[in-house]
């Protein structure tokens, strides 16, 4: 029972932290975070088929394959925060992801495994770290592309953390001559 409470907390608590983030930043980085959650959900599907790990405890009846509390809690919201704090500074982003992924794989994963949430089977942790590093590079590339369809508001042009985003017009304005 305590394990399920911890899992529910790890699903809900990260979302509460978003009250500390500006709405414009949530809108800006939510697409890449949703893409990240989708990619990791697909990895959970692959892991299920190839028996990379076995989930033993679930918090929802349909959570047999994907660890819902991780993917849609810590991972999705964590992706939002990492992009919010590091996007535009590639090496800081890359190192932050490497550190967070390493902590997850070599520390937190051991705790959840001892609690009986899952058991590792046919994949090594270094392989997962390599896979997650590739995912982080893909996500950074996606967000750089995503930024090309947005432009900073003129009001916030000089201040990095308060940039509001507005959609670029796809139609040219007619010149008045």
HSE-CB of 144 using CA atoms within 13 angstroms:
10
Residue 39 predicted with pLDDT over 90: yes
What is the torsional sign of CA 9, 128, 112, 3? positive
**Structural domain contains residue 165:** no
**Structural domain contains residue 130:** yes
Question: What tokens does 129 get?
Answer: 């770290």
Residue 177 predicted with pLDDT over 60: no
Residue 95's nearest CA partner among 108, 82, 105, 106 is: 82
The pLDDT-based confidence of 172 (bands split at 50, 70, 90) is low
Per-residue pLDDT at 14: 94
Domain range enclosing 29: 2-150
The pLDDT-based confidence of 152 (bands split at 50, 70, 90) is low
Residue 165 predicted with pLDDT over 60: no
Residue 120's nearest CA partner among 67, 71, 41 is: 67
CA distance 59 to 137: 30
Per-residue pLDDT at 58: 85
Question: Which residue matches tokens 């911890």?
Answer: 6
**Structural domain contains residue 55:** yes
Is the pTM higher than 0.75?
Answer: yes
Domain count for the chain: 1
Q: State the chain's mean pLDDT as an integer.
A: 86
């Amino acid at each position: 029972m305590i394990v399920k409470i911890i899992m529910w907390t790890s699903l809900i608590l990260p979302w509460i932290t978003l009250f500390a983030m500006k709405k414009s930043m949530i809108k800006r980085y939510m697409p890449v975070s949703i893409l990240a959650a989708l990619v990791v959900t697909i990895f959970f599907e692959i892991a299920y088929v190839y028996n990379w790990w076995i989930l033993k405890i679930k918090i929802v009846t349909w959570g047999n394959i994907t660890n819902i509390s991780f993917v849609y809690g810590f991972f999705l919201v964590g992706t939002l925060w990492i992009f919010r704090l590091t996007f535009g500074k590639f090496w800081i982003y890359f190192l932050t992801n490497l550190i967070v992924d390493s902590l997850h794989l070599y520390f937190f994963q051991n705790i959840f495994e001892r609690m009986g949430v899952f058991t590792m089977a046919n994949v090594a942790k270094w392989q997962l770290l390599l896979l997650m590093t590739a995912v982080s590079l893909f996500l950074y590339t996606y967000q750089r592309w995503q930024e090309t369809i947005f432009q900073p508001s003129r009001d916030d042009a000089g201040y990095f953390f308060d940039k509001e985003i507005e959609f670029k017009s796809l139609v040219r304005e007619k010149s008045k001559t």
